[in-house]
Amino acid sequence: MNENTPLPAAPKTRQKRKPRPDVLRLEHVGPIQKAEVSFGDLTVIVGPQATGKSIFLQTLKLVLDRDSIHDTFKHHSVAFNGNSDAFLGGYYGKGMAAAWKEDRSKLRWNTKAFTLPQLAKPSKAQHQEERLFFVPAQRVMSLRDGVTQNFGQFNYGDPYTLRYFSDAVHDLLQNEFGAKGNLFPQPNRLNDTLRKPITEHLFGGSTLAVDANDFTKRLVLKIAGHKEGLPFLAWSAGQREFTPLLLGLYWLCPAGKLSKRAGIDWVVIEEPEMGLHPQGIATVLLVVMELLRRGYRVVLSTHSPVVLDLVWALQEFKQLGGTESDVRALFDLPNNDFAKGLGRVILQKDCRVYFFDRNQTVRDISKLDPGATDSAESEWGGLTGFASRTGETIADLVDRQATRPRRKKSTGLPNGVGAT
Partner 1 sequence: MKATGRAADKSQKTGQKSAFAAAAEAAGLLPVKGKSAVKGQYQTGIACRTGWVFTDSVDVDTAYLAAEPESVRWDYGLGLEAGPRGEMAVWVEPHPASSAREVAKVIAKLDWLEAKLALAKYKGLRMLTDKAAAAGVRRFHWLAMTGGMRIRPGSKEAALLSSRGLHLPRRHLEL
Residue among 133 and 312 whose Cβ is closer to partner 1 = 312
DSSP 366-402: TT--TT-SSHHHHTGGGTTHHHHHHHHHHHHHHHHGG
Beta bridge partners of 44: 300, 353
Q: How far is CA 350 from CA 38, 127, 299, 314, 327, in A?
A: 11, 28, 12, 9, 15
- Rg of the chain, C-alpha, whole Å: 23
Q: How far is the CB of 286 from partner 1 (least distance, A)?
A: 20
Q: How far is CA 130 from CA 41, 78, 109, 137, 263, in A?
A: 19, 18, 17, 20, 6
Residue among 145 and 396 whose Cβ is closer to partner 1 = 396
Q: How far is the CB of 356 from partner 1 (least distance, A)?
A: 20
DSSP 215: G
The C-alpha atoms of residue 356 and residue 344 are separated, in whole angstroms, by 31
DSSP 179: T
8 Å CB contact between 54 and 24: no
Question: Do the bridges between strand 351-355 and strand 42-46 make them parallel or antiparallel, or are there none, so unpaired?
Answer: parallel
8 Å CB contact between 106 and 28: yes
Residue among 204 and 370 whose Cβ is closer to partner 1 = 370
Angle at alpha carbon of residue 276, lines to 271 and 278, rounded to 5°: 100
Cα-based torsion angle of the residue sequence 277, 283, 288, 293 in order, rounded to the nearest 10 degrees: 170
Residue among 202 and 351 whose Cβ is closer to partner 1 = 351
Q: What is the separation, in whole angstroms, between the first and last Cα of the chain?
A: 53
> Which one, of 268, 212, 197, 250, lies nearest residue 24 by Cα?
268
Q: How far is the CB of 407 from partner 1 (least distance, A)?
A: 9
Which residues lie near partner 1 (CB under 8 A)? Answer: 305, 309, 312, 316, 319-320, 369-373, 378-379, 384-385, 387-388, 390-392, 394-396, 398-400, 402-403, 406, 409-413, 415-420
Q: How far is the CB of 394 from partner 1 (least distance, A)?
A: 4
Q: How far is the CB of 314 from partner 1 (least distance, A)?
A: 13
Q: How far is the CB of 289 from partner 1 (least distance, A)?
A: 20
Q: How far is the CB of 347 from partner 1 (least distance, A)?
A: 18
Residue among 267 and 351 whose Cβ is closer to partner 1 = 351
Q: How far is CA 52 from CA 101, 130, 397, in A?
A: 15, 23, 38
Beta bridge partners of 184: 208
Q: How far is the CB of 43 from partner 1 (least distance, A)?
A: 21
Q: How far is the CB of 360 from partner 1 (least distance, A)?
A: 21
Q: How far is the CB of 404 from partner 1 (least distance, A)?
A: 10
Residue among 227 and 400 whose Cβ is closer to partner 1 = 400
Q: How far is the CB of 413 from partner 1 (least distance, A)?
A: 4
Residue among 16 and 409 whose Cβ is closer to partner 1 = 409
- Strands (DSSP E) along 145-224, which ranges? 147-148, 182-184, 207-211, 218-222
DSSP 30-58: TTEEEEEEE--SEEEEE--TTSSHHHHHH
